[in-house]
C-alpha cells in the first residue's frame, strides 16, 4: 500500500510545489469505500493558495495525470479521493503478505537503535496477582512490537527484591515461620506471613520497628538476614518462572533492585558534588520545589535507601551498559510523580539522555470496586485466573469439537489467550475492573474470537490442500468484500507503527478485531472453495494473507494461534 501513497504524494506535490513527504503525511486511508481508497484533504493547502479547499480539489482533479494503477480521482467537497485499480491494490497487498508471511509488517526503520524495557517487576515473596498482569503483557507486547520495527529491545525484570518489606518478612518468618511449609508452597507461606505481620502490627505497632531493624541488618550484610532473603528470592523466582512460561514470556535480565545496592553510593556522591543533594528534615533529598514537585528522597533519616535512589542508579547503569536510545518503564500510573522526579534529577545531573526515558503508564486494576491489596490479603492470583480460563476453554472444546486432538494444549492456548487479550481491549492507561465474567468471556471481541477466526483460516487451507502459487491470478477476486478485506490487510504495517509511536499495543488488538470481523462476514457470504479452480486459488491466496496477518498480529500481542480449536 505504501507504493500508492508515494505515487499519489508525488503526483500532488509536483502540482502544488510542495515536497512530497509533507503531502504524503497528509494522505489518509479513506474512512469509507464510497470515498475511494486513499484521501487527500485539501484544507492545509487552502491558506497558502488562498483558495477554498473545494476549489483546490477540483483543480487538482483536472490537472493530475495519474498512472494506470490509479483508476479514478473524485472530488467530494474539500476532499480529493483516489481510487486504486482494485486488481493493483489486491495484488500489491496479497503478494506482499504471501511473500513476507510471519515477517509481514516488519521493518528496519529503527535498525541499530536500542530500547530497554523495564516491565513486570513483581515483588519477591508476594504472589503474582492480576495487578501485575498488565505490565507483564503490555511490556512483552511492546518488546515484540519494537523488535518487529528493527529495535534491539532488551527486557529487564526489575524484581522488587529489596526494601523494607523484607524486614517485615524476615521478622515474620523468624518468629512464626515454618521451614516445611516454606519449601512445599513458598509463595503461599510467605504471603501468609506477610498478611499476618500486618494484622499483628495493628495491635503491636512496635514490630514495625523490629522489621525496620531487620532490613537495616540485611542492608549491612548480616548473615542470618541475608540467608533468609536469598532463600525467599530463589523460591519466588522459581514460582514466577512457571507463570512466565505459561505466558510465553522471557526476560533478558532479572536484575532487580538489590542488584543496585553497591551502585547507589556513587550516585549519591555525584549528587553531593553537583550540590544537588542536601539535608532536610534529617533526610537526604534533592529539592525539586522550583519544578513544582515534592523532593526526591535519597536517604531516609535512618540512612536506609529508597527506591528513588535505586532507580537513579539503575537508569545510569542501564545507560552505561546498554547505551539505549530509549528506556521505557512500563509501570502503573500511580508512580507518575516518582518518574517525573527521577527524570528531572537525571536531567539536573546533566545527563542529556534523560529525555529518552519514558514512563509508559498503566491504569489500575480493581476487583469488584475494591482496591486489591497484598497486605489485606484480598488479591486474585494470576495462576488461578489462568487455570479457570483454561478449564472453561476445555469445557467448550468438549462441547463443540470433541474430536480435537491435544485438547489440553489447545485449551491452555485459548484460555490464556482470553486472559491476555482482555488486557488489550482498552487503552493501557485506563483503569479497569477485573471481573470473572469478563476475563472468562470467549464471545465477541475477545482473544478466542481471533484465535477461532485464525483456526477457521487454517482449516480452509487444510481443506484446500494446495500450495498457493506465486503466479496465482488475483483478478478472480471480484467480490466487494475481497477488496475491502485486502485494503484492511494492507493497513497492518501502519497499525504496528501507530502502536509503536504511542507504546500502545491495543492499537494492534483493535485492528485485528476489524480484520477478523471483516473476514467472518466475507466467509459467511462468499463460499471460498468452489468448483472453479481459478476462483478458489485466488480466494485462497487472500485467505492465507489474512491468516498470516492475524497470526502475526497475535504474535505481537504475545498470544498463541492454534491451527485447530
- In the range 65-84, which residues lie near RNA by CB under 7 A? 76-79, 81
β pairing state of 38-41 and 114-118: unpaired
Using CA atoms, how far apart are residues 126 and 13, in angstroms rounded to an integer?
A: 60
- In the complex with RNA, which residue's Cβ is closer, 181 or 295? 295
Q: Is 448 in the site for RNA (CB under 7 A)?
A: yes
- In the complex with RNA, which residue's Cβ is closer, 155 or 256? 256
| Edge-to-edge order in the sheet of strand 38-41 | 28-29, 38-41, 79-84, 70-76
Using CA atoms, how far apart are residues 501 and 428, in angstroms rounded to an integer?
A: 14
φ, ψ of residue 466 to 5 degrees: the values are: -120, 155
Q: What SS3 string covers 349-380?
A: CCCHHHHHEEEEEECCEEECCECCECCCCECC
Q: Least distance in Å: CB of 137 to RNA?
A: 15
Interaction residues for RNA, span 107-166 (CB under 7 A): 123, 160, 163-165
Which of 115, 360, 420, 455 forms a contact with RNA (CB under 7 A)?
Answer: 455
Q: Least distance in Å: CB of 499 to RNA?
A: 10
**Nearest to 558, CA basis, from 103, 114, 139:** 139
Q: Is the dihedral of CA 339, 327, 325, 309 positive or negative?
A: positive
Q: Is 307 in the site for RNA (CB under 7 A)?
A: yes
Q: Least distance in Å: CB of 179 to RNA?
A: 27
Query: Is residue 249 classed as helix, strand or coil in its secondary structure?
Result: coil
- In the complex with RNA, which residue's Cβ is closer, 96 or 170? 170
- In the complex with RNA, which residue's Cβ is closer, 181 or 212? 212
Q: Least distance in Å: CB of 557 to RNA?
A: 15
The region that residue 123 occupies, defined by phi over 0 for left and psi between -120 and 50 for alpha, beta otherwise, is beta
φ, ψ of residue 160 to 5 degrees: the values are: -80, 75
Q: Is 468 in the site for RNA (CB under 7 A)?
A: no
Q: Is 292 in the site for RNA (CB under 7 A)?
A: yes
Q: Is 431 in the site for RNA (CB under 7 A)?
A: yes
Using CA atoms, how far apart are residues 3 and 37, in angstroms rounded to an integer?
A: 13
Q: Is 280 in the site for RNA (CB under 7 A)?
A: yes
The contact mask relative to RNA for 320-339 (x = CB under 7 A, - = no) is -------------xxxxxx-
Q: Least distance in Å: CB of 547 to RNA?
A: 12
Q: Least distance in Å: CB of 496 to RNA?
A: 14
- In the complex with RNA, which residue's Cβ is closer, 112 or 292? 292
- In the complex with RNA, which residue's Cβ is closer, 38 or 96? 38
- In the complex with RNA, which residue's Cβ is closer, 247 or 411? 411
Q: Give me the helices (H) in 153-185, please.
A: 164-176, 179-184
Amino acid at each position: 500500500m505504501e507504493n500508492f501513497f508515494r505515487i499519489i504524494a508525488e503526483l500532488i506535490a509536483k502540482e502544488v510545489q510542495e515536497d512530497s513527504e509533507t503531502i504524503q503525511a497528509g494522505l489518509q486511508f479513506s474512512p469509507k469505500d464510497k470515498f475511494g481508497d486513499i484521501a487527500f484533504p485539501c484544507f492545509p493547502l487552502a491558506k497558502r493558495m488562498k483558495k477554498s479547499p473545494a476549489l483546490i480539489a477540483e483543480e487538482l482533479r483536472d490537472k493530475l495525470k495519474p498512472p494506470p494503477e490509479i483508476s479514478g480521482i473524485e472530488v467530494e467537497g474539500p476532499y480529493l479521493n483516489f481510487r486504486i485499480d482494485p486488481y493493483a491494490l489486491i495484488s500489491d497487498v496479497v503478494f506482499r503478505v504471501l511473500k513476507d508471511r510471519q515477517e509481514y509488517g516488519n521493518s528496519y526503520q529503527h535498525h541499530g537503535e536500542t530500547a530497554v524495557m523495564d516491565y513486570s517487576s513483581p515483588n519477591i515473596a508476594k504472589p503474582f496477582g492480576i495487578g501485575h498482569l498488565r505490565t507483564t503483557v503490555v511490556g512483552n507486547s511492546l518488546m515484540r512490537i519494537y523488535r518487529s520495527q528493527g529495535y534491539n529491545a532488551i527486557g529487564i525484570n526489575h524484581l522488587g527484591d529489596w526494601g523494607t518489606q523484607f524486614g517485615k518478612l524476615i521478622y515474620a518468618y523468624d518468629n512464626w515461620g515454618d521451614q516445611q511449609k516454606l519449601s512445599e508452597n513458598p509463595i503461599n507461606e510467605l504471603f501468609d506471613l506477610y498478611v499476618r505481620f500486618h494484622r499483628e502490627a495493628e495491635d503491636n505497632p512496635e514490630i514495625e520497628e523490629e522489621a525496620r531493624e531487620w532490613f537495616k541488618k540485611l542492608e549491612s550484610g548480616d548473615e542470618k538476614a541475608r540467608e533468609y532473603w536469598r532463600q525467599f528470592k530463589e523460591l519466588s523466582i522459581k514460582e514466577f518462572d512457571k507463570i512466565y512460561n505459561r505466558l510465553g514470556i522471557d526476560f533478558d535480565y532479572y536484575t532487580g533492585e538489590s542488584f543496585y545496592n553497591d551502585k547507589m553510593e556513587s550516585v549519591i556522591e555525584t549528587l553531593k558534588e553537583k550540590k544537588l543533594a542536601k539535608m532536610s528534615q534529617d533526610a537526604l533529598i534533592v529539592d525539586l520545589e522550583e519544578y513544582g514537585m515534592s523532593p526526591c528522597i535519597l536517604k531516609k533519616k535512618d540512612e536506609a535507601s529508597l527506591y528513588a535512589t535505586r532507580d537513579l542508579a539503575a537508569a545510569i547503569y542501564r545507560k552505561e551498559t546498554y547505551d539505549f536510545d530509549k528506556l521505557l518503564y512500563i509501570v502503573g500510573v500511580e508512580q507518575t510523580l516518582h518518574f517525573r522526579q527521577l527524570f528531572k534529577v537525571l536531567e539536573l545531573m546533566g545527563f542529556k539522555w534523560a529525555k529518552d526515558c519514558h514512563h509508559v503508564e498503566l491504569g489500575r486494576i480493581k476487583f469488584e470496586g475494591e482496591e486489591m491489596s497484598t497486605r489485606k490479603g484480598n488479591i486474585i492470583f494470576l495462576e488461578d485466573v489462568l487455570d479457570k480460563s483454561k478449564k472453561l476453554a476445555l469445557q467448550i472444546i468438549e462441547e463443540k469439537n470433541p474430536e480435537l486432538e491435544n485438547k489440553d494444549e489447545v485449551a491452555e492456548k485459548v484460555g490464556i489467550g482470553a486472559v491476555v487479550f482482555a488486557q488489550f481491549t482498552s487503552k493501557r492507561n485506563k483503569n479497569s475492573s477485573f471481573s470473572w465474567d469478563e476475563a472468562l468471556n470467549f464471545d465477541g471481541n475477545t482473544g478466542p474470537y481471533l484465535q477461532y477466526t485464525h483456526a477457521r483460516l487454517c482449516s480452509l487451507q487444510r481443506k484446500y490442500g494446495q500450495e498457493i502459487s506465486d503466479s496465482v491470478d488475483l483478478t478472480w477476486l471480484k467480490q466487494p468484500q475481497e477488496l475491502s478485506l485486502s485494503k484492511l490487510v494492507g493497513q497492518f504495517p501502519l497499525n504496528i507503527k501507530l502502536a509503536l509511536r504511542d507504546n500502545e499495543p491495543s492499537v494492534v488488538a483493535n485492528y485485528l478485531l476489524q480484520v477478523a470481523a471483516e473476514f467472518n462476514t466475507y466467509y459467511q457470504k462468499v463460499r471460498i472453495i468452489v468448483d472453479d479452480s481459478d476462483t478458489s486459488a485466488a480466494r485462497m491466496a487472500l485467505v492465507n494473507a489474512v491468516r498470516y496477518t492475524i497470526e502475526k498480529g497475535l504474535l505481537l500481542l504475545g498470544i498463541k494461534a492454534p491451527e485447530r480449536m
